[in-house]
Amino acid sequence: MRNGSVDSTYLMIKDMRVRGAGRIARAAVIALKEYCDNNRFSSKKEFHSNLFAAGEKLKSARPTAVSLPNAVNYVLAAAKRSEAKNSSLRETIGTIDVVCDGFVASSLKATKTIGNYGAKRIQEGDVVLTHCNSEAVTAILTAAHEAGKKFEVFATETRPRFQGRITASVLAKRGLDVSLIPDSAVRVYMRKVDAVLVGADAIAANGAVINKIGTSQIALVAHETRARFFVAAETYKLSTTTMLGELVEIEHRSPYEVVPRAWLKANSRVKVKNPSFDITPPEYIDLIITEKGIYPPQGIVFLMKELYAEPLLGIG
């Protein structure tokens, strides 16, 4: 069995060569498609068990971005439906190809739509602060810029992995006015900031947003200065299992992302903690911008029910 696409994508997601909730979802779906297309299966039974094992492996690459299991489960659900219809192996693989292509196209389209919806929330002369690197956020800022609005962006460095440098670099190349600031400088600049705009790895049923570590601290400071706090997220980042009381797992990464190996060796009594994400409570969020419309965090549960009530009935 040629597991190449699945194994390499699993590793790329795990060590963050592919990162960001939207990108990892699309990468996993493309890996599943390639896995189906590039292997010969002796029976439908073998196909299904291998496909489900590949899906489980991909889902285990990173635990927090719910876009990853949501995307993989979307593909696996298509395989299950095919099985229930007693489709041939060739038909099932054909269906999976279509479903995977559809997911990737609709994901890209959703980001673009969010860009257009969100751009309307950026006013002429605004100062916008963002954290980490989110495609949904850069889509909004780019769309506002392309609409001719003049505004300034502050991008936090986002330690320890410095994804803020990606954001600053992307925006500067697109012609936006952007300044990179240390994470610890957020409160200094927040007095100037009109709106904070961040992405999401997962959104819980109560409207809480799970995003890059440091997001909740920024929300607190934004609350203090009454800056608006917006979240941009495609609906496949909604965590439906939180409707059933499940918690979103927060990823803890290697201490060597925080300090060099030699330093830790020389200071072996020091414990280094490296949580990768945190939770911003709904009270600190003004609006969540999705491709299905813009919602107050308290409205997210209704969107979840509308979009995902049926699959939820099958849980448990």
Positions annotated as catalytic residues are 132, 201
Given 276, 285, 289, 290, the residue binding ligand RUB (CB under 6 A)? 276
Q: Which is nearer to ligand RUB, 39 or 134 (CB)?
A: 134
Nearest to 159 by CA among 87, 210, 217, 101: 217
CA-to-CA separations, 12 to 54, 197, 230, 232, in angstroms, rounded: 15, 27, 29, 24
Restricted to residues 201-220, the positions that interact with ligand RUB (CB under 6 A) are 201, 211-212
Residue nearest to ligand RUB (CB): 199
Looking up tokens 């410095």, which residue turns up?
A: 162
157 sits near ligand RUB (criterion: CB under 6 A)? no
Secondary structure (3-state) at 239: coil
Given 5, 6, 10, 19, the residue binding ligand RUB (CB under 6 A)? 19
Diameter of the chain measured on Cα atoms: 64
* Per-residue b or e along 74-95, where b marks 16 or more CB atoms closer than 10 Å to that residue's CB: bbbebbeebeeeebebeebbeb
* Measured distance CA(311)–CA(240) in Å, rounded: 9
Q: Which is nearer to ligand RUB, 113 or 211 (CB)?
A: 211
Given 65, 66, 72, 304, the residue binding ligand RUB (CB under 6 A)? 65
First to last CA, the chain: 31
Please state the closest distance from residue 287 (CB atom) to ligand RUB, in A.
Answer: 16
Are 201 and 210 contacting, i.e. CB atoms less than 8 angstroms apart? yes
Locate 16 and state its tokens: 């963050």
Please state the closest distance from residue 227 (CB atom) to ligand RUB, in A.
Answer: 18
Please state the closest distance from residue 177 (CB atom) to ligand RUB, in A.
Answer: 21
26 sits near ligand RUB (criterion: CB under 6 A)? no
Computed over its alpha carbons, how large is the radius of gyration of the chain?
20
Q: Which is nearer to ligand RUB, 39 or 242 (CB)?
A: 242
Considering CB under 6 A, how many residues would be counted as binding ligand RUB?
Answer: 16
Given 6, 10, 21, 117, the residue binding ligand RUB (CB under 6 A)? 21
Choose the binding region for ligand RUB from 40-48, 196-204, 279-287, 293-301 (rule: CB under 6 A).
196-204
Are 134 and 199 contacting, i.e. CB atoms less than 8 angstroms apart? yes
231 sits near ligand RUB (criterion: CB under 6 A)? no
118 sits near ligand RUB (criterion: CB under 6 A)? no
Are 278 and 250 contacting, i.e. CB atoms less than 8 angstroms apart? yes
134 sits near ligand RUB (criterion: CB under 6 A)? yes
* Measured distance CA(175)–CA(146) in Å, rounded: 9
291 sits near ligand RUB (criterion: CB under 6 A)? no
20 sits near ligand RUB (criterion: CB under 6 A)? yes
132 sits near ligand RUB (criterion: CB under 6 A)? yes
If you ran DSSP here, which 8-state letter would residue 252 be given? B
Choose the binding region for ligand RUB from 19-27, 79-87, 91-99, 183-191 (rule: CB under 6 A).
19-27
Would you list the DSSP string of 210-238?
EEETTHHHHHHHHHHHT-EEEEE--GGGB
Please state the closest distance from residue 198 (CB atom) to ligand RUB, in A.
Answer: 6
If you ran DSSP here, which 8-state letter would residue 26 be given? H
136 sits near ligand RUB (criterion: CB under 6 A)? yes
Please state the closest distance from residue 170 (CB atom) to ligand RUB, in A.
Answer: 11
Binding site for ligand RUB (CB under 6 A): 19-22, 65, 132, 134-136, 163, 199-201, 211-212, 276
